Structure 1
Amino acid sequence: MVNFGSLARKIFGSSNDRRIKGFRPRVEAINALEKEMQALSDDALKARTEEFRKQIAEGKTLDDLLIPAFAVVREASRRALGLRPFDVQLIGGMVLHGGGISEMRTGEGKTLVATLPVYLNALSGKGVHVVTVNDYLARRDAEWMSRVYGFLGLTTGIIVHGLSDEERKAAYACDVTYATNNELGFDYLRDNMKYDRAQMVQRGHNYAIVDEVDSILIDEARTPLIISGPLDDRSELYNSIDTFIPQLEAADYEIDEKQRTATFTEEGTEKLENLLREAGMLKGASLYDVENVAIVHHVNNALKAHRLFQRDKDYIVRNGEVVIIDEFTGRMMPGRRFSEGLHQALEAKEKVQIHPENQTLASITFQNYFRMYSKLAGMTGTALTEAEEFGNIYGLEVSEIPTNVPVARIDEDDEVYRSVEEKFKAIVREIREAHAKGQPTLVGTTSIEKSEQLAERLRAEGFQEFQVLNARHHEQEAVIVAQAGRPGAITIATNMAGRGTDIQLGGNADMRIAQELGDMAAGPERDAKEQAIREDIARLKEQALAAGGLYVLATERHESRRIDNQLRGRSGRQGDPGRSKFFLSLQDDLMRIFGSDRMDGMLQKLGLKEDEAIIHPWINKALEKAQKKVEARNFDIRKNLLKFDDVMNDQRKVVFEQRIALMDGENLGETIAEMREDVVEDLVAKHIPENAYAEQWDLDGLKEGVRAHLNLDMPIHEWAAEEGIDDENIRERLLEAANKAAADRMERFGPDIMAYVEKSIVLQTLDHLWREHLVNLDHLRSVVGFRGYAQRDPLQEYKTEAFELFQAMLGNLRQAVTSQLMRVELVREAADAPPPQAPQQVRGEHIDATTGEDDFGETALALAPADNRIVPAEQRDPADPSTWGKVGRNETCPCGSGKKFKHCHGAFV
Structure 2
Amino acid sequence: MGALDWFWKAMGSSSERNDKKSKSIATGAGELVAELSALNDADLAARARSCAAGGELKDKSTFLACLAVAAERKLGLAPFHVQSQAVLRLLEGDVIQMATGEGKTLVGAMAATGFALTGKRVHVVTVNNYLAQRDAEWMRPLVETFGLSVASVTEKLSADKRREAYRSDIIYAPVNELGFDVLRDNQIISREQTVQAPADVALVDEADSVLVDEALVPLVLAGSRKGDAPTGHITNVVSRLREELDYTISQDGRTVTLTDAGAHRVEHELGIDSLYSEDNIGTVLVKVNLALHAKALLIRDIHYIVNEGELQLIDASKGRVADLQRWPDGLQAAVEAKEGLEVSEGGRILDTITLQELMRRYPTVCGMTGTAVEATDQLRQFYDLHVSVIDRNNPLQRFDEQDRVYATMAEKNKAIVAEIQALNATGQPVLVGTQDVAESEDLAEALAELGIEVNVLNAKNDEEEARIIAEAGDEGRVTVSTQMAGRGTDIKLGGADESDRAAVVERGGLAVLGTSRHRTARLDNQLRGRSGRQGDPGLSLFFVSLEDDLVVQGGEDDSLVFNPGEDGRIESKRVNAFVAHCQRVTEGQLLEIHAQTWKYNQLLADQRIIIDKRRANLLDTDPAWKELAQRAPQRAAELADVPEAAKVAAAREIMLFHLDLSWADHLELMDDVRESIHLRAIARETPIDEYHRIAVREFKELAQRAVDDSVETFNTVQINENGAHLDDSGLARPSATWTYMVSDNPLAGSGNSVIGGIGNLFR
On the 8 A contact 1:780/1:798 being kept in 2, the answer is yes
The answer to whether structure 1 residue 629 and structure 2 residue 593 are counterparts is no
Counterpart of 1:162 in 2: which secondary structure? coil
2 CA distance for matches of 1:648 and 1:588?
38
Instruction: State the identity %.
Output: 35
Structure 2 residue aligned with 1:19: 18
Structure 2 residue aligned with 1:721: none
- Give 1:220-619 correspondences, 5 Å limit: 220-231=214-225, 260=256, 300-302=281-283, 304-305=285-286, 339=328, 357-464=346-453, 466-471=454-459, 476-497=464-485, 499-509=487-497, 537-538=498-499, 540-594=500-554, 602-603=561-562, 606=563, 608-619=564-575
2 CA distance for matches of 1:751 and 1:149?
47
Q: What amino acid is aligned across from residue 682 of structure 2 in structure 1?
A: Y
Q: What amino acid is aligned across from residue 134 of structure 2 in structure 1?
A: R
TM-score normalised to the size of structure 1? 0.69
Q: Please say which of residues 154-163 and 826-835 is displaced more in the overlay.
A: 826-835
Aligned mate of 1:202, from 187, 196, 201:
196
2 CA distance for matches of 1:405 and 1:14?
26
On the 8 A contact 1:326/1:332 being kept in 2, the answer is no
Structure 2 residue aligned with 1:816: 709
1 CA distance for matches of 2:555 and 2:418?
27
On the 8 A contact 2:96/2:387 being kept in 1, the answer is yes
The answer to whether structure 1 residue 767 and structure 2 residue 694 are counterparts is no
Question: Which structure has the larger Rg over C-alpha atoms?
Answer: 1
1 CA distance for matches of 2:448 and 2:332?
42
2 CA distance for matches of 1:325 and 1:582?
29
Q: Please say which of residues 201-210 and 149-158 is displaced more in the overlay.
A: 149-158
1 CA distance for matches of 2:143 and 2:546?
52
On the 8 A contact 1:481/1:498 being kept in 2, the answer is no
User: Higher relative CO (CA 8 A, sep ≥ 6), structure 1 or 2?
Assistant: 2
1 CA distance for matches of 2:519 and 2:249?
27
Structure 2 residue aligned with 1:5: 3
Aligned mate of 2:616, from 660, 668, 681:
660
Structure 1 residue aligned with 2:594: 638
1 CA distance for matches of 2:644 and 2:279?
45
On the 8 A contact 1:647/1:799 being kept in 2, the answer is yes
Alpha-carbon shift at residue 182 of structure 1 (Å): 0.8
The answer to whether structure 1 residue 845 and structure 2 residue 733 are counterparts is no
On the 8 A contact 1:471/1:477 being kept in 2, the answer is no
2 CA distance for matches of 1:160 and 1:343?
26
2 CA distance for matches of 1:233 and 1:548?
56
1:255-287 deviation digits (Å, cap 9, x = unpaired): 999755699xxxxxxxxxxxxxxxxxxxxxxxx
Structure 1 residue aligned with 2:33: 34
Q: Gapped runs of 5+ residues in structure 2?
A: 235-246, 260-276, 312-325, 336-342, 749-763
1 CA distance for matches of 2:198 and 2:523?
33
Q: Please say which of residues 27-36 and 625-634 is displaced more in the overlay.
A: 27-36
On the 8 A contact 1:481/1:503 being kept in 2, the answer is yes
1:689-746 deviation digits (Å, cap 9, x = unpaired): xxxxxxxxxxxxxxxxxxxxxxxxxxxxxxxxxxxxxxxxxxxxxxxxx43x144224
Mark the CA change 1:188 to 1:508 in structure 2 (over 3 Å): closer, same or farther.
Answer: same
2 CA distance for matches of 1:569 and 1:355?
39
On the 8 A contact 1:149/1:156 being kept in 2, the answer is yes
Q: What amino acid is aligned across from residue 95 of structure 1 in structure 2?
A: R
2 CA distance for matches of 1:329 and 1:492?
19
Structure with the largest fraction of helix: 1
1 CA distance for matches of 2:5 and 2:697?
56
Structure 1 residue aligned with 2:144: 150
Structure 1 residue aligned with 2:265: none
Structure 2 residue aligned with 1:79: 73
- Give 1:158-173 correspondences, 5 Å limit: 158-173=152-167
On the 8 A contact 1:127/1:172 being kept in 2, the answer is no
Q: What amino acid is aligned across from residue 842 of structure 1 in structure 2?
A: T
Q: What amino acid is aligned across from residue 32 of structure 1 in structure 2?
A: E
Q: Gapped runs of 5+ residues in structure 1?
A: 243-254, 264-295, 316-323, 347-353, 510-536, 677-737, 854-909
Alpha-carbon shift at residue 6 of structure 1 (Å): 7.0
Alpha-carbon shift at residue 783 of structure 1 (Å): 2.0
Mark the CA change 1:479 to 1:48 in structure 2 (over 3 Å): closer, same or farther.
Answer: farther
Alpha-carbon shift at residue 461 of structure 1 (Å): 1.1
The answer to whether structure 1 residue 137 and structure 2 residue 30 are counterparts is no
- Give 1:63-142 correspondences, 5 Å limit: 63-142=57-136
Counterpart of 1:393 in 2: which secondary structure? helix
Mark the CA change 1:799 to 1:597 in structure 2 (over 3 Å): closer, same or farther.
Answer: closer
The answer to whether structure 1 residue 791 and structure 2 residue 751 are counterparts is no
On the 8 A contact 2:405/2:576 being kept in 1, the answer is no
CA RMSD between the two structures: 3.9
Alpha-carbon shift at residue 659 of structure 1 (Å): 1.3
Alpha-carbon shift at residue 624 of structure 1 (Å): 2.1
1:452-486 deviation digits (Å, cap 9, x = unpaired): 1111111111112x211125565631332122111
2 CA distance for matches of 1:673 and 1:14?
55
1:556-603 deviation digits (Å, cap 9, x = unpaired): 11111001011112111111111111122222212223557858x833
1:11-64 deviation digits (Å, cap 9, x = unpaired): xx99699611121221132123212211112332244455456x22xxxx4232
Mark the CA change 1:23 to 1:448 in structure 2 (over 3 Å): closer, same or farther.
Answer: same
Structure 2 residue aligned with 1:43: 42
Counterpart of 1:506 in 2: which secondary structure? coil
Mark the CA change 1:162 to 1:472 in structure 2 (over 3 Å): closer, same or farther.
Answer: farther
1 CA distance for matches of 2:693 and 2:5?
50
Q: Please say which of residues 173-182 and 776-785 is displaced more in the overlay.
A: 776-785
Alpha-carbon shift at residue 149 of structure 1 (Å): 1.0
TM-score normalised to the size of structure 2? 0.81
2 CA distance for matches of 1:798 and 1:365?
18
